[in-house]
Structures are given as structure tokens and as C-alpha cells.
A and B are shown apart, each in its own frame.
Chain A
Amino acid sequence: MVGRVSSESTVPNSPIDEGRLLSRTAELDFAITEDDQLAFANVSGDFNPLHLDADFARARGFSGAVVYGAMIVARISQIVGMELPGSSGIWSSLKIDFRNPLYVGETAHLFAEVIHYSEATRSLSLKIKVTCADRAIATANALVTLHAV
């Protein structure tokens, strides 16, 4: 997995510089392996062969084993917990649409940007897009609240 971030990795807790928050973006490339899939199956109890057996998935019209949607959520969690805003934030909402399957072994690109900062609630709204080549994999909106120090 290759990750890169466009700006600093932490958000100042006080005072909040709204202009800097609104300009922040983060992005990373990631690929999910068969081992990742099996690890998630063991954690979640979801052993649907669509995610674990490429032949089973191909027989049903897919191009291979389909990455669990939760694995994409996990990468969003990485962005929120490590970069936007990092240790000063706690996730309070996520709305996500899965638009096309991501297959095991494919490299996806995740891009997140702060589209709104609420001074009243000290919350960031993030707009997130996950793509793979020219395919939209998922779009999401997350709300992250900055906690007091």
C-alpha cells in the first residue's frame, strides 16, 4: 500500500484555522490481497465466497473475487484517523455508496477533501472518492468532530 498526504498530518487544536482546514486533502493508493480478505472474513464472520473464491465470483459474472465493502471503509478510516484530521478527531457519521466492484489485487485510489468546517460543532465534513482506473468504486461523505485537548 502506498499512501501520501498533501499537507500536515495533524490539525491544530486551538485556535482552529478554518482556511487551512478547508484546503486540506489527503489521498492514498491501496490494493487488497487475498490474505486481507481472509483476515476480514475471520473478523467479521462473512465467508461469502463472492469475496474469497475468484472462480465462484467469475461464474456469477464478476471479473474475480470482489473486495469487501468494509475494506474500503477501512481505508477511509485510515484517512480519517491518520490524516484528516488525525488524532484530534473522532468519526461521527459516514454515508457511502458502492458504485462498482473492486477486485482483489487491483490498485484503487482514494481521495478525500474537507468541504466544510463547522465552527459551532468543531466538525469537518469530508467528501471521499475511491476510483480504480476509470471506474468509480465508491463515493462517501464523512463527518468528523474535533475533540478538546
Chain B
Amino acid sequence: MVPTLEFDIEMNQADVYARLTPIFHDVFDDDSIVVKPTTVAADVDGWDSLAHIRLVVALEQAFHVRFTAAEASSFENVGQVVNSIIQKNGR
């Protein structure tokens, strides 16, 4: 059976979120963080400019993607980051 496009996208998003969570735990040194599409910097203690750099670099290395400076500063929430990662991976 060939999965529907919608189903496939949902699974890919689930995969990205599953890999995203331990990255957030490591960068912010907080295993209680629950990463959701609506998560923004204000929701996470310690999400300052240096932590933002560590997060962006960790995401680039984990997902083998590169963000531009414009992209990195335009993300409004985690959901947009995830969508960008999926798009860059050609999924």
C-alpha cells in the first residue's frame, strides 16, 4: 500500500520532532522540555542569543541542513523550523 501524501508528511514530522526533542534537552540542559509546533523562545528557560546559536548549529548538524541568517531570524515557532527542515531534506 502506498501511503497518502498527508500520512507521509505526518510521519516525517513525527520523526523530526522525535529527533528534535533530545536536541532541545541537550542544548537547554532540561529534560522536561516538551517540544511542540507552537513552542517559541519565550516558552523555554535559557533560550537566549547564545543558546539560539547552539540550537541552530545542533539542528544543522543533526539534520544535515543549512539555514541562512534570514531564515534563522525569521522562524516564529518550532513548527516553522520543522517545516523548513523537512523541506530542505526534500521530503
Q: What residues of chain A have their CB less than 8 Å away from a CB belonging to chain B?
A: 92-93, 116, 118-123, 125, 143, 145
Q: Tell me which residues across on chain B come within 8 A of A122, comparing CB atoms.
A: 69
A-B contact count (CB 8 A): 41
Q: Which listed residue, B52, B54, B68, touches A143 by the CB 8 Å rule?
A: B54
Q: Tell me which residues across on chain B come within 8 A of A123, comparing CB atoms.
A: 53, 56-57
Asked if B50 and A120 sit within 8 Å, CB to CB, the answer is no
Asked if A143 and B53 sit within 8 Å, CB to CB, the answer is yes
Asked if B68 and A120 sit within 8 Å, CB to CB, the answer is yes
Q: Which listed residue, B50, B52, B54, B66, touches A119 by the CB 8 Å rule?
A: B66
* Smallest CB separation, B30 vs chain A (Å): 16
Asked if A143 and B57 sit within 8 Å, CB to CB, the answer is yes
Asked if B89 is at the interface of the complex by the 8 Å CB criterion, the answer is no
Asked if B76 is at the interface of the complex by the 8 Å CB criterion, the answer is no
Please report the C-alpha to C-alpha distance between residue A145 and residue B51 in the assembled complex, in whole angstroms.
Answer: 12
Query: Secondary structure at chain A's binding surface: helix, strand, loop or mixed?
Result: strand
Instruction: Report, nearest first, the 4 A-B pairs whose CB atoms are least far apart.
Output: A120-B72, A120-B67, A121-B53, A118-B57
Please report the C-alpha to C-alpha distance between residue A123 and residue B53 in the assembled complex, in whole angstroms.
Answer: 8
**Chain B residue at minimum C-beta to C-beta distance from A125:** B57
Asked if B50 and A92 sit within 8 Å, CB to CB, the answer is yes
Asked if B66 and A93 sit within 8 Å, CB to CB, the answer is no
**Chain A residue at minimum C-beta to C-beta distance from B54:** A93
22 pairs from A and B in contact (CB 8 Å cutoff): A92-B54, A93-B54, A116-B57, A118-B56, A118-B57, A118-B66, A118-B67, A119-B67, A119-B68, A120-B67, A120-B69, A120-B71, A121-B52, A121-B56, A121-B69, A123-B53, A123-B56, A123-B57, A125-B61, A143-B53, A143-B54, A145-B53
**Chain A residue at minimum C-beta to C-beta distance from B73:** A120
Asked if B8 is at the interface of the complex by the 8 Å CB criterion, the answer is no
* Smallest CB separation, B52 vs chain A (Å): 8
Asked if B53 and A116 sit within 8 Å, CB to CB, the answer is no
* Smallest CB separation, A43 vs chain B (Å): 25
Please report the C-alpha to C-alpha distance between residue A41 and residue B54 in the assembled complex, in whole angstroms.
Answer: 32
**Chain B residue at minimum C-beta to C-beta distance from A18:** B66
Asked if B15 is at the interface of the complex by the 8 Å CB criterion, the answer is no
Asked if B10 is at the interface of the complex by the 8 Å CB criterion, the answer is no
* Smallest CB separation, B88 vs chain A (Å): 12
